[in-house]
Amino acid sequence: MVLEDMLPRARQQSFDVKFNQTSLLDFAVNFDLVYEISNPYKKELPIPDHVMGIFVDGKDIGLAKSHQEVMVPAKYTSLLNYSFTLNSNQLRQLLGKNNNITFKTAIELDLTDYTNMLPNFQLAVSEDFDLESSELKPYLNKLLQKKIGKFNFSYEHSAQVKIPAPPSITKSNEPIEIKLLGTGSNLLNPNAIKNALIPFGDLLINGEMDGLKDPFIDAVVKMTVPVPDPVIENIFRTRDVKIEKYMLDLIRPFDSQINNKWNNTKALLYRSSSFKLTDYFVDNILDPTGNLGASQKWDDFQDTYDQFKFTEFPDQLPGPQTRGFEILIPFTFKNQNEFPISIPIFRSSVILPGGQPFSMYVKPKDMGEINLGEVPSNQAEIPAKQSKTLYVVFSFDMKAFNQGIYSLFMENQFEPNLGGIMSYDFGYGPLYIGYDLKRMSLDYK
């Protein structure tokens, strides 16, 4: 018989983590912890009421759970279950971190009535029992003398849990790119044409006029005139006032809208600072003269021009050897975790016997083609709190059709399949998921 067999013992049996989500904004994580308590005596052992606390990085987060008294049968074991739920508000404090989560409790047992059950023969100590433990040594001495009474023991479970934060996805300042698949024609260079148009487009949109001052309005705004301002001491006293204000004060009793009319006239003919000429023309000439929606159309044109200006076109025109084209749209992917994650990838393709005519990718620009059914070999990481420019790539390959692009306009029957691969890293390495619509399969690697 070994000495520690004469004391109640606790052993962790299981620890389960479950994620629940009822909506995009409402989610929770459940922790289920089970301990096995053993009773070495020939008499049932009461485990009194106690509290299991949960600590994150050593701090009590106020989610302690009370456990009612249980009776452990003689020479038997019982299971004690502890369940904790962290709601979305509590989880947000843990998102993006490698959290050290600890569950621990302390239980005081009264073993006074159990000392007479100890054997009278010599007790042994197992090799893995720590005799130097400052907490257990007093109990060992008392146990050997059959004088043990109150017995305090605690048990705890710690785990490193990474709870990934959602990434931040924002617009990138990198240009949109259009690339040809195959060889094009050198007859014209679309980028050269674009670069030649940009100076004129910039002038049209951003060209400014350094002020606009109609001579009459300028004189009215600047001129002052003396007006009578008599007092008892000096009935001939005058004061200088701006003629603009004096004129408006005289007319206002006869026209309550005179201020608005005057301000509109000044806005049209009098600008003290520089202004964009085309904006002025659209807002003050086109819109007021019945060209409905002129301002909105001008805003839309400027947005389209910005996209055109920052788009990288191919250096060649499509030719006989051109298979298709790709459009690369950049975006910024920020890892908001305090630990690195692998770059997420995605590919979805329409599959025909001749190839994949339509595909969409999400990948870094410098990454090679993502092949269906294969795990990429050059997967890179995004460091903690760092950003990476990724691209949504739309690919159109005409040669994947049996008779090229003309197949779309002929009476051909297509039986396309949809397949792809995607990955995401939740902090423990990337998980790759491949899918095949025709086979209705979903595989992960």
Q: Are residues 71 and 219 in the same domain?
A: no
Q: Are residues 276 and 321 in the same domain?
A: no
Per-residue confidence at 373, pLDDT binned at 50, 70, 90?
Answer: confident
Q: What is the pLDDT of residue 42?
A: 86
Q: What percent of the chain has pLDDT over 90?
A: 8
Please give the tally of structural domains in the chain.
3
Instruction: For 27-65, give the DSSP string.
Output: EEEEEEEEEEEEE-SSS-EEE--EEEEEEETTEE-S--E
Q: What is the pLDDT of residue 441?
A: 58
pLDDT in tens, 316-345: 888 778 888 899 999 999 999 988 988 888
Tell me the C-alpha distance between 110 and 149, whole Å: 6
Q: What is the pLDDT of residue 136?
A: 53
137: tokens are: 């040594």
Q: Are residues 195 and 304 in the same domain?
A: yes
Q: What is the pLDDT of residue 73?
A: 92
Q: What residues contact 240, with CB distance under 8 A and at least 6 apart?
A: 224, 225, 226, 227
160: tokens are: 């490193």
Residue 179 lies inside a defined structural domain of this protein: no
Higher pLDDT, 31 or 427: 31
Q: What is the pLDDT of residue 132?
A: 46
Q: What is the pLDDT of residue 232?
A: 82
Q: How many CB atoms lie within 10 A of CB 134?
A: 7
Q: For the stretch 73-88, what's the b/e string if a residue is b when 16 or more beta carbons lie within 10 angstroms of its beta carbon?
A: eeeeebebebebebee
For the residues 243-265, what does the mean pLDDT come to?
84
For the residues 28-41, what does the mean pLDDT come to?
86
288: tokens are: 């007021």
Tell me the C-alpha distance between 14 and 319, whole Å: 65
Q: What is the pLDDT of residue 276?
A: 81
Tell me the C-alpha distance between 32 and 35, whole Å: 10
CA-wise closest residue to 90 among 29, 165, 167, 168: 29
Q: For the stretch 272-304, what's the b/e string if a residue is b when 16 or more beta carbons lie within 10 angstroms of its beta carbon?
A: eeeeebbbbebbeebbeeeeeebeeebeeeeee
Q: What is the pLDDT of residue 121?
A: 45
Tell me the C-alpha distance between 82 and 101, whole Å: 14
Q: How many CB atoms lie within 10 A of CB 333?
A: 20
Q: Are residues 24 and 71 in the same domain?
A: yes
Q: Are 65 and 18 a contacting pair, CB within 8 Å?
A: no
Higher pLDDT, 154 or 257: 257
Backbone angles phi, psi at 295, to 5 degrees: -65, -40
Q: Are residues 425 and 348 in the same domain?
A: yes
Q: What is the pLDDT of residue 281?
A: 79
Q: Are residues 7 and 153 in the same domain?
A: yes
Q: Are 389 and 174 a contacting pair, CB within 8 Å?
A: yes
Q: Are residues 9 and 147 in the same domain?
A: yes
Residue 81 lies inside a defined structural domain of this protein: yes
Give Cα separations from 93 to 71, 338, 347 (angstroms): 38, 13, 33
pLDDT in tens, 201-235: 888 888 877 666 667 777 777 788 788 888 888 88
Per-residue confidence at 392, pLDDT binned at 50, 70, 90?
Answer: very high
CA-wise closest residue to 32 among 68, 83, 72, 69: 83
Residue 181 lies inside a defined structural domain of this protein: no
**Host domain of residue 380:** 169-173+316-444
Q: What is the pLDDT of residue 412?
A: 55
Using DSSP's 3-state secondary structure scheme, residue 237 falls into coil
Q: What is the pLDDT of residue 295?
A: 86
Last residue of a domain, one of 309, 329, 346: 309
Using DSSP's 3-state secondary structure scheme, residue 414 falls into coil
For the residues 34-57, what does the mean pLDDT come to?
88
pLDDT in tens, 164-174: 888 899 989 88
Q: What is the pLDDT of residue 112?
A: 74
301: tokens are: 């044109």
Residue 242 lies inside a defined structural domain of this protein: yes
Residue 212 lies inside a defined structural domain of this protein: yes
Specify the pairing of strand 322-334 against strand 176-182.
Answer: antiparallel
Q: What is the pLDDT of residue 332?
A: 94
Q: Are 417 and 353 a contacting pair, CB within 8 Å?
A: no
Residue 206 lies inside a defined structural domain of this protein: yes
- Which helix (H) or strand (E) segment is 101 a member of? strand 97-110
- Quickly tell me which residue has 């016997």 as its tokens: 353
Q: Are residues 43 and 113 in the same domain?
A: yes
Last residue of a domain, one of 309, 334, 353: 309
Q: What is the pLDDT of residue 135?
A: 53
Q: Are residues 298 and 386 in the same domain?
A: no
**In degrees, to the nearest 5, what angle opens at C-alpha 72 toward C-alphas 67 and 76?**
140
- Give the range with max mean pLDDT: 103-112, 386-395, 407-416, 436-445: 386-395
Higher pLDDT, 179 or 113: 179
Instruction: Classify residue 90 as exposed, middle or buried by CB count within 10 Å of its CB (0-12, 13-18, 19+).
Output: middle
Query: Looking at the predicted structure, is the pLDDT value of residue 175 above 80?
Result: yes
Cα torsion angle, 18, 22, 24, 25, sign: negative
Q: Are residues 302 and 408 in the same domain?
A: no
Q: What is the pLDDT of residue 249?
A: 84
Last residue of a domain, one of 293, 309, 325: 309
Q: What is the pLDDT of residue 282?
A: 82
Q: What is the pLDDT of residue 391?
A: 92
Higher pLDDT, 212 or 9: 9
Q: Are residues 227 and 273 in the same domain?
A: yes
Query: Looking at the predicted structure, is the pLDDT value of residue 2 above 60?
Result: no
Per-residue confidence at 133, pLDDT binned at 50, 70, 90?
Answer: very low
Q: In residues, how long is the chain?
A: 445
CATH assignment at residue 397: 2.60.40
Measured between its terminal Cα atoms, the distance across the chain in Å is 49
Residue 180 lies inside a defined structural domain of this protein: no
Residue 344 lies inside a defined structural domain of this protein: yes
CATH assignment at residue 61: 2.60.40.10
* Type of residue at 273: S
Q: Are residues 108 and 246 in the same domain?
A: no
Using DSSP's 3-state secondary structure scheme, residue 8 falls into coil
Across the chain, what does the average pLDDT equal? 79
